[in-house]
Chain A
Amino acid sequence: MTTAYAEGVIGALDEARSPIVRAVGLSKWLGGRPVLRGVDLTVGTSQCVALLGANGAGKSTLLRILSTLTRPTAGRLELFGLDATRAGALLRARIGVIGHQLMLYRELTVRENLELFGRLYGLGHVGARVGEVLGLVGLESRAEDRVRELSRGLAQRVSIGRALMHRPELLLADEPFTGLDTESAERLESIVRGHRAGGGSVVLATHDAAQAARLADRVAVLRGGRIALHEPAGGHDPDALAACSRSLA
């Protein structure tokens, strides 16, 4: 009894001390070809890591593995100090994902989409939370519109709202600025900063080196499925970072 209790306490302490993401030697083969090769990545609490790299460098695959949607072919992934392959539902409830695609139901309204995911995540007071999220993404006036009636940029904002509905501790965003106008992009940057200020962590795949330099603590440049450069973002001039990313690609 005492041992079990002690193990529980030690486990909880380990989890508290652990980084949010610890990936060691992650590899992924798709269609007989390596997409990721031995990627190591650590993301701490309230940190933002930006993934840069050309198309096909492995950014989206890495994010899908981190989100637990795809299993790595080799390597080890710990999320919140837990083995990602074993603690599925527990971990998924702590992750929010903004994908390449909208991940929404087009025939449902904005409100119905958010309510559905609020219910699936077991939120109490779903209606109130939907109101908060609509305010966050600036879509109060379009709440009753079906997603298929919205422009790509507005639908992308709904997708961002869906990812934030359950207040995830880790936000994984795969080129989330795609299709957003300047105002929406600024709003999303502010959401990312707010998320970090609230203790959340972010892994952001982007092609925009300037954005990476503005938002991230660290930048990892992927090339051919490997991390070719992994450095703090602060010291980099965005133009130099973009040039470096292009040369590595």
Chain B
Amino acid sequence: MSGARAIAALASKDLRIETRSREMVTLVAMLGVLVVVVLALGLGPEAAGPRAAAILWVAYLFSGVICFEKTMQVERQDDALAALLLAPVDRGQIYLAKLLANLVLMTGTGLVITVAGVLFFRFDLAAWGFAGVMALGLIGFAAVGTLFSACSSSSRLGGGVLPLLVFPLCLPLILASTQMVLAMHEPERTVSGGYGVLVAFDIVFLAAGWLAFEFLLEP
């Protein structure tokens, strides 16, 4: 089977399962919206304005981690992962399929979270620039989360250990993207090499995921 067809088959399987149960998507979106509301209320709508990217990132991080855990949990249930590993499919393709499904789910929930932020607190997101920065950030976050969800789901601690692995690793992404969004609102602020950091991070962790997934996947 060609790599692209295997990736498409596996990713559509994950999306079909998630849309059919709907539990995860609803839970993740609600958690994300709650985080936005609580943080913005705590900071006050006026203070929240320039911190929009940081607030949204906190919501994306928590909802994203649940997303990674749930999509990997599907493989652990009834040992479905073993059937997948027995098929003549490259493990890197399994990683890319999982990443693709996670990205689609995170984009959907991310849109709900972002819209909630805009509606409640009038975040001025300078639409296209913000979307580009956050898209690059989310690709890197999904690359790291998908990679580590494979090992955390097989560990004795289960998914609980995932934020401890993923959040520190994503710091460069969060710092670069929040500084870049801030610079869009404050012309006197300059950020050099922001896109470079985001693109390099994405490339490094996509390559690492492709290569390392084989060793992290234990049935």
A249 within 8 A of B: no
Residues from chain B with Cβ under 8 Å of A185 in the complex: none
Given A99-B79, A104-B80, does the pair A69, B86 have CB atoms closer than 8 Å?
A: yes
Is the pair B90, A89 in contact by a Cβ cutoff of 8 Å? yes
Is the pair B88, A102 in contact by a Cβ cutoff of 8 Å? no
Is the pair A105, B82 in contact by a Cβ cutoff of 8 Å? no
B77 within 8 A of A: yes
Residues from chain B with Cβ under 8 Å of A112 in the complex: 13, 16
A142 within 8 A of B: no
Is the pair B17, A121 in contact by a Cβ cutoff of 8 Å? no
Main secondary structure of the interface of A (DSSP, over half): loop
Given A119-B5, A121-B1, does the pair A105, B17 have CB atoms closer than 8 Å?
A: yes
Residues from chain B with Cβ under 8 Å of A102 in the complex: 78-80
Distance in Å: Cβ of A71 to nearest Cβ of chain B:
11
Among A97, A107, A116, A120, contact of B88 (Cβ-Cβ < 8 Å)? A120
Is the pair B90, A106 in contact by a Cβ cutoff of 8 Å? no
Inter-chain CA distance A174–B84, complex, in Å, is 17
Given A116-B13, A119-B5, does the pair A104, B90 have CB atoms closer than 8 Å?
A: no
Size class of the B contact interface (CB-based, 8 Å): 20 to 34
Distance in Å: Cβ of B2 to nearest Cβ of chain A:
8
Distance in Å: Cβ of B59 to nearest Cβ of chain A:
27
Inter-chain CA distance A3–B207, complex, in Å, is 38
Is the pair B87, A103 in contact by a Cβ cutoff of 8 Å? no
B189 within 8 A of A: no
**Residues of B30-82 contacting chain A, CB below 8 A:** 74, 77-80, 82
Inter-chain CA distance A95–B82, complex, in Å, is 13
Distance in Å: Cβ of A176 to nearest Cβ of chain B:
14
Is the pair A119, B83 in contact by a Cβ cutoff of 8 Å? no
Residues from chain B with Cβ under 8 Å of A89 in the complex: 88-90
Inter-chain CA distance A17–B134, complex, in Å, is 59
Inter-chain CA distance A95–B86, complex, in Å, is 8
Inter-chain CA distance A20–B13, complex, in Å, is 33
Inter-chain CA distance A68–B86, complex, in Å, is 8
Is the pair B78, A106 in contact by a Cβ cutoff of 8 Å? yes
Is the pair A101, B79 in contact by a Cβ cutoff of 8 Å? yes
Residues of A in contact with B (beta carbons under 8 Å apart): 67-70, 89-90, 92-93, 95, 97, 99-108, 112, 116-117, 119-122, 162
User: Could you list 12 further interchain pairs (A-B, Cβ under 8 angstroms) beyond the known A112-B16, A122-B88?
Assistant: A69-B82, A89-B90, A92-B87, A102-B78, A103-B78, A103-B83, A106-B77, A107-B21, A108-B13, A119-B1, A120-B87, A120-B89
Residues of B in contact with A (beta carbons under 8 Å apart): 1, 5-6, 9-10, 13, 16-17, 20-21, 74, 77-80, 82-90, 219
Closest 3 CB pairs of A and B: A122-B1, A103-B83, A101-B79
Can you identify 28 A-B contacts, CB atoms within 8 angstroms?
A69-B85, A89-B88, A89-B90, A93-B88, A95-B86, A99-B79, A99-B82, A99-B83, A101-B78, A101-B79, A102-B79, A102-B80, A103-B78, A103-B79, A104-B80, A104-B83, A105-B13, A106-B78, A107-B21, A107-B74, A112-B16, A116-B9, A117-B83, A119-B6, A120-B10, A120-B89, A121-B87, A162-B83
